[in-house]
Copies of this chain bind each other. A is one copy, B any other.
Amino acid sequence: MKSKATSFDIAHMAGVSQSTVSRALSDSPLVNQETREKVKRIAKELNYKVDKNASNLRKQHSQTLALLFFEDPTSDDSLINPFFISMLGSITKATAAAGYDLLVSFQNLKDDWHAVYEDSNKADGLILLGYGSYTDYEYKLSQLEEQGTRFLRWGAPDEKHPGVSIGCDNYLGGVEITKHMLSLGHKTFGFIGYADETAPEFKARFDGFMSVLLENALPSSNVVQKNAISTEAAGYEAALKILNDNRPDAIVCASDLIAMGAIRAVRSLGLKVPADIAVVGYDNIQISEFASTPLTTVHQNTQLAGELLVTNLLKMINNEPVTDYLMPPELIIRQSCGVNSSK
């Protein structure tokens, strides 16, 4: 293994100064066309690549964005929430398109903030990605802000939280899905998913759901809500509890994973989806389309979300103003509610 070439090696071979090499390689207009070409040719021959550490140290920025996944502490190790996974792709691409590198790390919302600061040091900006409540971490967020770290949070804008956030309008998603249910004649509901501050996304969906019921003068006795984390197993358990007590027209689930479990629960009692009980999910994860009964759900445009996150973070880095943004949700009607849309 030969030691790597430096700009001095190239300078030597090209018979110019090292400064000129640096200029030529960065396409500075200050350098003669001919010189530039010669330098570039030699650099190529030597398989020379600028040392990022040196370059970044000198330039005082890292040309790197960090993506911090805050894991759902409840979900098991091997199963990352498919929704986030799908955002990873678009974030990676948007980052690369902007000429930045992407540092990815998984964080535990509970304790690993030390690592966050570490990362904030290695990156020009941070993207915070994770379900769940940042409520207990406002303090940390403030500290991040105070420290001058540029960061963007995925999630619903919330005046209680420092920093700007980009998210999907979960309230509106809940509204749309519920209107759809009502239009199909469903009147009594189960709702599965946390509906409190520990899961702001779920709560927003639930609130949207309830608002439509209220609007339509349906009594709150028409709905029974059960907490559940976003897993198939939790959805199954919760659905079973609901079905043991009563038999609503429909079960509204705070996530697709929960919905998968709910469908299994319905079936396990010998009932059919959607003939006996309708089920809706949220997220439009890949499974939802291929499920035994293709799931009616709400799509969140992860492609757009990733791009928005990256371009806005870049704006922050360039000291341009950035504001909260809420993306509209998109209702995807499939078979699990009793409507058969064309495939």
| Chain A residues close to B by CB (< 8 Å) | 1-2, 4, 47, 49-54, 56-57, 62, 64, 69, 77-80, 82, 85-86, 88-90, 92-93, 96, 101-106, 115, 117-118, 120-122, 143, 147-148, 232, 260, 286-287, 290-293, 302-303
Contacts of A143 in B (CB 8 A): 47
Q: A78-B89, A89-B106, A103-B101 are in contact. Are A54 and B52 (CB under 8 A)?
A: no
Contacts of A78 in B (CB 8 A): 86, 89-90, 302-303
Contacts of A302 in B (CB 8 A): 78
A89/B93 in contact, CB under 8 A: no
A260 nearest CB neighbor, chain B only:
B290
Nearest CB in chain B: distance from A168 CB, A: 16
Residue of B88, B120, B303 touching A77 (CB-CB under 8 A): B303
A290/B232 in contact, CB under 8 A: yes
Contacts of A303 in B (CB 8 A): 77-78
What is the total number of copies of this protein in its complex? 2
Nearest CB in chain B: distance from A91 CB, A: 9
User: Please, how many angstroms separate the alpha-carbon atoms of A183 and B303 in the complex?
Assistant: 45
A52/B122 in contact, CB under 8 A: yes
Nearest CB in chain B: distance from A112 CB, A: 9
Contacts of A93 in B (CB 8 A): 77, 106
Contacts of A106 in B (CB 8 A): 89, 92-93, 96
Nearest CB in chain B: distance from A5 CB, A: 10
A-B contacts, 9 of them at CB < 8 A, read A2-B148, A47-B143, A53-B54, A54-B57, A78-B90, A88-B88, A102-B104, A290-B291, A291-B291
B103/A103 in contact, CB under 8 A: yes
Contacts of A291 in B (CB 8 A): 290-292
Q: A52-B122, A232-B290 are in contact. Are A101 and B90 (CB under 8 A)?
A: no
User: Please, how many angstroms separate the alpha-carbon atoms of A69 and B88 in the complex?
Assistant: 12
Contacts of A62 in B (CB 8 A): 52-53
A52/B121 in contact, CB under 8 A: yes
Contacts of A101 in B (CB 8 A): 103, 105, 122
Residue of B90, B104, B286 touching A104 (CB-CB under 8 A): B104
Highest count of chain B CB atoms <10 Å: which of A1, A4, A88, A286:
A286
User: Please, how many angstroms separate the alpha-carbon atoms of A90 and B80 in the complex?
Assistant: 10
Contacts of A148 in B (CB 8 A): 1-2, 4
A256 nearest CB neighbor, chain B only:
B290
Nearest CB in chain B: distance from A284 CB, A: 11
3 closest Cβ pairs, A-B complex:
A1-B148, A292-B292, A53-B57
Nearest CB in chain B: distance from A289 CB, A: 8
Contacts of A69 in B (CB 8 A): 92
